[in-house]
Structure 1
Amino acid sequence: MHDANVIDALAARLRNAEASRQTISPVRGDIPLDDIATAYAVQQANVDLRIANGERIVGRKIGLTSLAVQKQLGVDQPDFGALFAGMAYGDSEPMPLATLIQPKVEAEIALVLEHDLTHDKHTFVDILRASAYALAAIEVVDSRIENWDIRFVDTVADNASSAL
């Protein structure tokens, strides 16, 4: 698909939902369920805008890693998103949950990389060699999609439902 007008319109809908703290209907009404490339293009449009506005990427997230959640959403693969410096909070630092729409908390394992991962596909050994250490982390996910009624293209377009 990769229609630039559709990508820009959906990216704007998601940005406006986040800014107004109001959910929107699923984007899959405008992106076919199997059009993963367009969903990632919508995500990238908002990532590019955040960077242009001075935000800094500090990491990446992998979502939908649980087989149970994949089954629930009818997907067979994880999704990926960008993490920005403004999303990171330290121990005992209050998180502004009131700025979110419908947050959920997840326990995570964060890998701090010492070396870039540069291959298209990585082995477990590649990841271990690139990692400096692992940390326990808390992720607060949020969906701009109404009632968390998400399928794969919805969460991908929405930066993998990332928040804090």
Structure 2
Amino acid sequence: MTAPIEAAAARLATAASTATPCPPVREFLGTIDAAYAVQRRLRDQRVEAGARVAGAKIGLTAPSVQRQFGVYQPDFGVLFDDMLYAHTEPVPYRRFLQPRAEGEIAFVLGRDLDVPGASVADVLRATEFVLPAIEIVDSRIGAWDLSIVDTVADNASSGAVVLGCTPFSLTGRDLAATGMTLELDGEPVSFGAGHACLGSPVAAVAWLARELAAREQPLRAGDVVMSGALGPMVPVTGAGRFRLRLDGLGEVDAVIEEEIQ
């Protein structure tokens, strides 16, 4: 399996370094496990180059997003420190190839989540606070021509994350009932709610914790966890301001700029 994994990793790495979308990598990969091996290879290369793992992201949780790509199971990827931006901090458009935006809830962990078979109760105990967050997803695969192994190998189509700056406790809060509106330059472009994310973002994070523990990559205290889209993703075509409004959880702005001033 080494040669196909190296070939897929090299294709994706070249696409990222040259900012040129590449053909799908599914021709090299027959299983999801092989795709995660590619993801780990690319993660290790980033870490060797000086990047720091800052958490994890869940992809393909919302039925609307699954229908957009014809992929009907969730996946996960790695968050690196250089992917994280704060509310209103300029995000350079040039760092992306073919970006799309989606509204999410980010979990910040106060404890390790490394127990086998983690439950929603374990997630609730481990979460220090949550934040409104906009994920800018991206794909190195040309025209978003994805199968599940393509997106897994490509770090779950990761791009960047913009985090709100006001933390919220989960105590007494029903995230499944949390409504979401995503606006672009003041116009609503996507609607959703927490129940679209595997029934609840808490359930999504429990799924992720189990998957990562089984692969000996457990979530740790301090990790940022993007719990998955609450509604359809929308294209990012250039400079603009995305604003996510979450019922009871504030709002966050992602400011996309052609150039950083």
TM bracket, shorter-chain basis:
over 0.9
Pick from 28, 31, 35 the counterpart of residue 29 of structure 2: 31
Which residue is 1:114 aligned to? 110
Which amino acid is the alignment partner of residue 97 of structure 2?
Answer: I
Matched, 1:91 2:107: no
Pick from 8, 25, 40 the counterpart of residue 44 of structure 1: 40
1:89-144 deviation line (CA, Å, top 9, x unaligned): 11221111112100001111000000111023321111111000110001101000
Larger Rg: 2
What is the correspondence of 1:120-159 to structure 2 with a 5 Å cutoff? 120-159=116-155
Which residue is 2:2 aligned to? 4
Secondary structure of residue in 2 paired with 1:43: helix
1:18-72 deviation line (CA, Å, top 9, x unaligned): 111111111112212xx00000000000001111111001110000001233344
What is the count of residue pairs matched by the alignment? 160
Q: 1:139 and 1:119 mapped to 2: Cα distance?
A: 27
Whether the 8 Å CA contact 2:5–2:29 is kept in 1: the answer is no
TM-score (norm: length of structure 2) = 0.59
Q: 1:163 and 1:74 mapped to 2: Cα distance?
A: 20
What is the correspondence of 1:46-85 to structure 2 with a 5 Å cutoff? 46-85=42-81
Higher helix share: 1
Higher strand share: 2
Identity of aligned residues (%): 49
Gaps of 5+ in 2: 161-261
Q: CA RMSD in A?
A: 1.2
1:139-161 deviation line (CA, Å, top 9, x unaligned): 10100001011111000000000
List, as ranges, runs of 4+ consecutive aligned residues in structure 1 with deviation greater than 4 Å.
Answer: none
Q: 1:50 and 1:115 mapped to 2: Cα distance?
A: 25
Q: 1:45 and 1:101 mapped to 2: Cα distance?
A: 21
Q: 1:71 and 1:122 mapped to 2: Cα distance?
A: 28
Gaps of 5+ in 1: none
Which amino acid is the alignment partner of residue 122 of structure 1?
Answer: A
Secondary structure of residue in 1 paired with 2:156: helix
Greater RCO, CA 8 A, separation 6+: 1
Q: 1:152 and 1:79 mapped to 2: Cα distance?
A: 8
Secondary structure of residue in 2 paired with 1:89: strand
